[in-house]
Structure formats: C-alpha cells, structure tokens
Chain A
Amino acid sequence: MADQFPTLAQCAVVATSLKVLLWPAYKSTDFEVHRNWLAITHSLPIDKWYFEETSEWTLDYPPFFAHFEWVLGRIARYVDAAMLQINNLEYDSWQTIHFQRATVILTELMLVYSLYAFVRSSPAATKKQAHAVALSLLLSPALLIIDHIHFQYNGFMYGVLIWSIVLARKKSTLLLSGIMFAVLLCFKHIYLYLAPAYFAFLLRTYCLGPRSVFDIKFANCIKLGVSIAAVFALAFGPFVYWEQMPQVLARLFPFSRGLCHAYWAPNVWAIYSFSDRILIYPQIPALLKLFLQPSWDNFVATLTLCGYASFLFGWHVHEKAILLVIVPFSLIALKDRRYFGAFRPLAVAGHVSLFPLLFTVQEFPAKTVYTLVWLIAFLLTFDKLVPASEKPRVFLLDRFSLLYTALAVPLMVYTSLLHHMIFGAKYEFLPLMFTSSYCAIGVVGSWLSFSVVHFTA
C-alpha cells in the first residue's frame, strides 16, 4: 500500500486545483436547478417543498437530497443570502458560483473516501490494480465534465454507491451495504435501476443460508427489512403523513404525470409499461446467475449489466447515465484481459458521448484534452496491469476496439471543426447524430462483449 504512487490523496490535490480553476467555466441550467432547490428548502417548510413551482426547475429529487440542500442553505446564508430567495431566478453572483462549485468539490470527498475503502478492501494480490482503478475513477473525465463544469453532485452520489458496494464485500457489513443503498435511493432515485442486483444479492447472501435456498435466515430478513423500511420511513414518512405522496411521486417520476392527464394517457402508459418490461427481461439471466453464484465479483458484474440495461433500453435516458455503467464496471475492469477488452470501447464511447453536454468554445479544449490524457494514461496503465485471461478470447475484440478508438479522432475533428467549415450552421443535427451513433456502437459493442465474458466466465 505504501508503495502505490501517486496516492489517492495526491491525485485529489491536483484534481482539486484544476476543479477550482474551472469555477468560472460554463455551467448548465442544472446550476440554476440546484440554486433553486437551495432557495426552496431554505425558505419553505418541508410540507411545501414538493409544491413550490415559481421556477420551472421544481424539486424532483427524493427527500434526502432536499435535506442535503437544506444543510447547504444553512451555510449559504453566510456567503450570499440573495441566492436563497425563491424569486431570484437565474441568480448567479460570483459568490453563488463559488459556493455551489465548492460544495461539489467538498462533497466529492465522499468518493475519495469510498475509493480509499475500496483499495483497502481489495486482496493483496490485486491491490495494485485496485489502486489504478481507484485513481481512474477519482480522476474520471465523466465526473469532471458532469459535476465540475456542467454542474451536478454525482461525485458525492457515486461515492455513496461505491461505499455501499465495498461494504457488500464482507459478510459482516452486508446489512450496512443494504442500508447505504437505501439511503442512496432516497438521495437520487436513478439508482433504482441498480436495485434488482442489490435485491438478488442481498436476498441470496444475507437472507438465505449459504448452503441451500431453503435455509431462510429470518433474523436477517427482519433486520434488513426493518432497516430499509426505517430509511424509507425517515425519508418519505412525513410526506405520507401529510398525504403528499402522490405529489412527491409525480415529481420524482414525471412520466407518470401523463397518467393523470387523461387525454394522452394511453400513449404514455403504453411507452412506460413497455420500457419498464424491456428493462427487466434482459436482466433476468444475469440476476439468476447472481442468485446461483453470489460472489462479490458477480454482484458488481450484475450491477454493471443493470447499468447497461438502463442506459441502452431505459426510457428518457440522459447521456449522464453512462456513469451507471462506467462506475461499477471500472471496479472489475482489471479482473482479466477479457473484461478489460470489453471495458476499453466503453471508456472511449462513454466519455465521448458526454462531449455534447458542453458545446461552448472555451470548454472544448478542456474537455477533449482532459479526456485524451485520461484515456492515454489509464488505458496504458491498465494494459500493463491487467492479468491474462485463463480462457481464450471470444472475438477479435482487440482489433475492433483499436479501430474503434482510432475513429474517435476524425469524429472529433469533424464534429468540432469540419462540419462548421463545410455546412456552416446548416444540418446541425449531423454532428450530434454521428456522435450518438458512434457512442451507441461502442456502448452496445462493449455490452455484448461484456455479456459474453460474464456468462461464459
């Protein structure tokens, strides 16, 4: 451990310096969204939180996140009280920007801690690989682009997720892992997509005996059930009590709002149920495999597959959801060469797919150069560290992924430069379309090869 240089803390220092320098960078409407939530939670009693709609960016995260904003608001008072007024739409004094950006950096310490816990929990034989993976996640260009430029709190949220995954590594902390995941769900409900894997894993390893599925551990079932119920009660209890649940759910799941509006309900309902079903079906084999072989590696692999399913088939998917795949996958990407082969196109496609989030000229060099350095540094490092696979490779994946990676360069040149020179402002959908198709190929390709690797392992 002592020999792993650079350490997590050292990387965190350098990354933080860069992130602070990024404070004046472009920020998306998500910045205003979070400022508005600061204002709502600070100025209104809890029972008004989910009804306030002065701004179009209403509160649509679960209650724990709202409480988190409330805590930030306590501090924000001393920085610039004007940002806490609900009517102060689009308010962005430099104090507000510095404050909100600083909170992203500080809450990301959660991620640093989780990664530290991840490396510490890894067996000595793979410590070196775990350290490299931890650094890659800490310095992830996806987090830099989404959190520190675009503006969100994913570093914090994924920190909680990784902590929960790390806790699932030891038998003694399984319960804690489940509780942490429940807490995470009450922060941000996008992680519901990962819930099937948690359900199958905890059911098999915590609620049932190791020998047989009929050896039900009732004490554990009760412990897990009660704790998770307690977490949810803490978050949603007050709203149940005030009979505001329909409103809260309507905010959290905006598509179900369609259900209330009778005139286009059938349409939306059709899409909703369809997407819902399609999300569950592809996961069933993976969940079964997890149930039969409930190892931690299998658990993380299933989480990854859940992430893939949500990203590939989910309804109303954001490009940001690629983190749901990248983060769990990274943890097992260095298991052997076959896993790494599936990870490589994802690392390229996943990050390139985030580029359209930032479309301003000033941010273009920052996002491309940072991603490029990250890809060079970590793909080369991983390549040196990853152990050979016991099984032969299935596809000619290496050639495919090399060609694929190389294609990213002309793509970037075209979308950022050539298109504008050739067509001017016309056909603006073309670059976006090329980027999406390119990334779709990469993500689907990596999903296919990962599935093959996972199910043949």
Chain B
Amino acid sequence: MSTPSHRPRKKSRASEVHAATSNGSITLDATSSRERPAFPLAAFFWPTKGVPTSSWVILSSILMITGLFRWTTGFWPYSGRARPPMHGDFEAQRHWMELTIHLPVTHWYFHDLEWWGLDYPPLTAYHSWICGQIGSLLNPDWFALYLSRGNDDHGVKVFMRATVIISEYLIYTPAAVICVRQLGRMHNINPWESSIALTALLMQPATILIDHGHFQYNTVMLGFTLASIASLYAGRRLWSCVFFVCALGFKQMALFYAPAIAAYLAGSCVFPRLNLPRLVGIAIITLASFALLFLPLLLGTAFATYRSLPLPATATPPPLLASLPALLSSEKSTLYPYITQLLQAVHRIFPFARGLFEDKVANIWCFVHSTGLHKLSAYSASTLSRASLLLTLASITPPCALLFLAPRPQVLAPALATTAWGFFLCGFQVHEKNVLLPLLPLTLLLAGKDGMKPSDRGWVGYANVLAAFTLFPLLKRDQLRIPYFVLTGLWSWLLALPPTSLSIFFGSTARSGEEAELHWTSKILHLGTYAAMIAWHVVEAFVETPEGKQDLWVVANVSIGAAGFGLCYLWCLWQSVVASGLLDRTSGQTAKKTQ
C-alpha cells in the first residue's frame, strides 16, 4: 500500500517533525535508515500515515474491527452455561433483568437473595430494567418470572451478548475515544499515533475476555470512569464528578479509583491557591448526582408505599437499621420505607460478612495464605479486615498524596493505576476480575508521552499479559481457553511483546534513546515472569496436580500474578512520582526511569 515517505510533500515533512516527538510507534531501520513501524499494530496504520484520510474512516474502521473481535468472542460459552444448579455471572445478570421488569422497585434488593439476589448499585438495576424490557419485547420467555431461571437458550445468549456490546459502544467506546484524544492533545502526540494507542486500548485482552466471554458489564463502569478522567483532562471537574458517581452507581468496584479522584479534585481546589467556590461546587454536584442516582429507587418506594405494597415475605430488615436512632428506624416513621430501601441497598452492595478474598485471586492475602507463608484462617474476620484496611491505606496514601499535592493531569493515569493496584493487592473482598480496574488507567499510558516506546509499552504489556494470565483459571472453567490464547496472543503480538516477540529486550531501537529503554533490572524481571507464565501453562496442560492438592496450579498462578502485580504497583508509583514533577523540583535534574 502507500508509503508516503517517498513523496516529497510538505505534509509528510510536517509528520517528520511530529515523528521527532513521536510516542514510539515508529522506529528507524538500522541498515536502511528508513522509517519502520515499531510493532505490527503500527504496520496496520501505515497506509494512512501522512496520507490525508478522513478521521471518520479511520475511527469507524477501528471501532468496527475491535467490535468484530468482541462479538466473535461472544460466540464462545459464557460463565455457568448449562451448569446447574447455580449457573454463573450470566444467569445473575439475566436474573436481574427478569426481577427488575416484573417486580415492584421495593422488592429489587429483597427478592429471593439466595438465587443471585441483586447486589450491585441502582444504576445496574436501571440498566437491567431497560435491557429486560427490550428483551421481553423480542421474546417474553427469556425473562419470564421464575420460569426463565437458568435459561440457556441460544436466543437469550445472543440478546445478552448484544446488550453488553451496545452498552459498551454507548459508554466505554466514546469515552475511550475522547480520553485518548485528550491525552494526545496534552502530550502533543499526532492523531495518527493516537489512533494506534486507541486500538491497543480497545483490544485489551482481559477486558474483552471478561465482558464478552465470561459475561459482565465492566466496560460500562470503566467507561464512566474513562469519561470522568477525560473530563478531568479537559478541566471539567463537575462533569467528572457526575461521571464518577455514575461509575460508582453502576458497580461499587469503582471505589478502587475513588480516593485518587477525590485527592485530585481536592488538590485542585487547594493548589496552587485555595478555591472555595470550586470545592463547594464539586460537593454539591456530587451529592446531587448521588441523590439523582437513588431517586428512581426512592420514587418507586413512594409509589409502593402509596399502594401499600408489602415487602416480600422472606425479607428481613437490613442489619444496619438497628444502629440508627429509633426515630428513623421505627416502622411507624414515614421515612421508614425509604431508609429500609437505602440501607438494604448498601447492605447488599457491601457484603462485609463475606471473606477476605473470594476464590483464588492474585493479591497479597491470597498469596500469603495459599502459598503457606502464613495461614490466615487463624485470625478473626474483624482482625483481617482491619489489617486489610490499614495495608490498603498505606499503599494508596503515596499516590493520593501526590495527586493532592501536585494535581497535574499528567499524574492522573499513573496515580489512578497505583491506587487501584493498592486496592487490588491489599484490599478486602477482591475478585480476580477486579484486575481490570488497575489495567485501564495503566493502559492509558500508551496514549501518553513515550507511551509506545519500549519502556512504557513493555510495562503496560507486562501488566496486561499477566492480568490475562491470572484470569486463566476462571476462563478455563468457562471453556474460554481458546479465546484466551487467541486474544492474549494477538494483543501481545500486535505490540511486539513476549511471548511472541523479544524485540523490546534485544531489539535495536537505534534512535529512540536510552531513556525509553527498559532498565536491565526490569528486563530480567519481565523475562523471568514471562518464562514462569509459559512454564506454568506447559505444566498446567500436561501435568496432573498431586493428590490432595487440587489447587496447586491455581496457587502457583496466583503467586506469579501477585508478585508481578506488586512490581506493577511499584512501577506505577514511580511513574506517578516522575509525572508529578517532584523530582525536577527537588534534584533539579531529569528523572531517570529505572523500574
């Protein structure tokens, strides 16, 4: 196809200038000193490089192609397919559609909690209601009350898959496009390279596998978060609050980001000088968004009270109710039904009664417990939750302090990633799927300054491949082994990362300069982890676990993951420090990237 570099045109000279501030998608061939794509993904954009091509054509092609990979991943089985009695996440989401469209609002958080009771915030419930209404128009059997439980019909699968992809394209995709564009503007990156970074972001294997394979709606929550970040980049703090409340209101896991967002917003009100109106505005808008979020629930409650609809017979009052003053918690109070609903929602959303970690997850607790370093079953739940809280606080304080003291937009992405890693590694009640949260801001770094140079690309790739790896036991249960290998392999190949390419370790990046290379310690750590992952896959595929230790391979997987994620935490923290400009001020010399 076309190689514009031969044509002596002004336009292409302009792109040469840009190439000097390139974020690393282009390298110079050592022998011919011609420009070459630094990794295969850039090669696919080569025909549009320096050629005037409508940005709509490029953008729509990117969205359609990444959409094809999402949709075809959905052809594979989902979690809990044809696996009675409880099925899986798919059934949970389908069941929520069933219950929200058939039951009064007051029953939503109380209905048969044993069968996938609703335990997500209200926005998920409203989303389920919309999807359920549309689905019932197409085929009422899919969401028939009680009768549709465990429905494994092919039609309902296609419909549910469609709701995931449409929700994603309505929220996550536009947010990602805008966010990458903002980052490009901020770091002065040409649109051509930004499109490449956008594609890399949209092809993240872990996100596609969990949402379109396993089945969840994480991208809605992540999309709202991206919108919130993009608003912060654009300086629209109030919009950012609204979007972030939406993220929280869709999935409580957005709390992983909350301290960092709060620190940044607070910092921007205090530094460089105190800005009280801004602080008040943020507070009001946040509160108003929360009020709006719960308004439908409360209106529904008012309507049910007016019709004097009772709660389900099985309903027990939320335990938090007892801790309220009698004035509010007495059944005679007019506020009683509303308080009950709100507290029940909170009770369902934050299950403090559950364990420290669920299943096997690559965080510190599971690592310490399962590898036998120290058995945690000896401690009481409250001791453990206190320990977890303290450790989490310790891990998120540095990035949040940085954001507060130096509220620069450049710090946002790495600091958000650091905070989310802190939560993931030290937090309470963490799922293996929550690894998507730190991955998102981390992967955004690709769209920033030097994002595609070996150092950043190497670390972002490392985290993404490792994250997909830790999801493997889950995906294997869902019979998604082949999509796992295809999507993870494809992504690492597109970005010229191990296991398909070793160019970031040994490649000659003639011009890009040493500062963007991976440090040799990083190289050793990366190579070691990749080797361990490959070895693990070989062992897992061909060797039976020893008698009585069924979980051995999973524990090994989780241990590799926890160690690697620990490194990712440290790297992100370092990136935040570098981006905050703290080092420039103190030592007066440019920061040398190590980790």
Contacts and interface: CB of A to CB of B under 8 A. Distances in A.
A24 B5 CA distance: 43
A117 interface: no
Contact of B40 (A10, A128, A373): A10
A4 B37 CA distance: 11
Interface stretch (B60-68, B354-362, B382-390): B60-68
A281 interface: no
Contacts of B486: 17, 20-21
Nearest to B73: A21
A385 B2 contact: yes
A384 interface: yes
Interface stretch (B42-50, B183-191, B432-440, B522-530): B42-50
A408 B383 CA distance: 66
A132 B47 CA distance: 10
A365 B64 CA distance: 10
B40 A362 contact: no
B459 to A, nearest CB: 24
B490 A3 contact: no
Given A5-B1, A7-B43, A385-B1, A369 B68 contact: yes
Contacts of A17: 69, 486-487, 489-490
B68 A18 contact: yes
Contacts of A20: 482, 486
A6 B40 contact: yes
Contact of A5 (B37, B72, B73, B158): B37
A132 B121 CA distance: 50
B64 A369 contact: yes
Secondary structure call for the B interface:
helix
Given A18-B72, A369-B68, A3 B43 contact: no
Interface in A341-392: 361-362, 365-366, 369-370, 372-373, 376-377, 380-381, 384-385
A387 to B, nearest CB: 13
Nearest to A135: B1
B249 interface: no
B294 interface: no
A131 B73 CA distance: 30
A131 B1 contact: yes
> Of residues B44, B61, B72, B73, which shows the largest number of chain A Cβ atoms within 10 Å of its Cβ?
B72
Contacts of B71: 365-366, 369
A381 B53 CA distance: 10
A13 interface: yes
A376 B61 contact: yes
A13 B51 contact: no
A6 B46 contact: yes
A340 B485 CA distance: 40
B34 interface: yes
Contacts of A4: 1, 3
A14 interface: yes
Interface string A17-52: 110111111000000000000000000000000000
Given A362-B75, A369-B68, A5 B60 contact: no
A14 B1 CA distance: 17
Contacts of A380: 53, 57
A302 B37 CA distance: 39
Contacts of B57: 376, 380
B483 interface: yes
B155 interface: yes
A381 B37 CA distance: 19
Interface of A: 2-7, 10, 13-14, 17-18, 20-25, 98, 128, 131-132, 135, 361-362, 365-366, 369-370, 372-373, 376-377, 380-381, 384-385
Given A365-B67, A366-B72, A369-B68, 20 more contacts: A5-B3, A7-B43, A10-B44, A17-B487, A21-B69, A21-B73, A21-B75, A21-B76, A21-B487, A23-B482, A24-B76, A135-B1, A361-B155, A362-B154, A362-B161, A369-B64, A369-B67, A370-B68, A373-B68, A384-B2
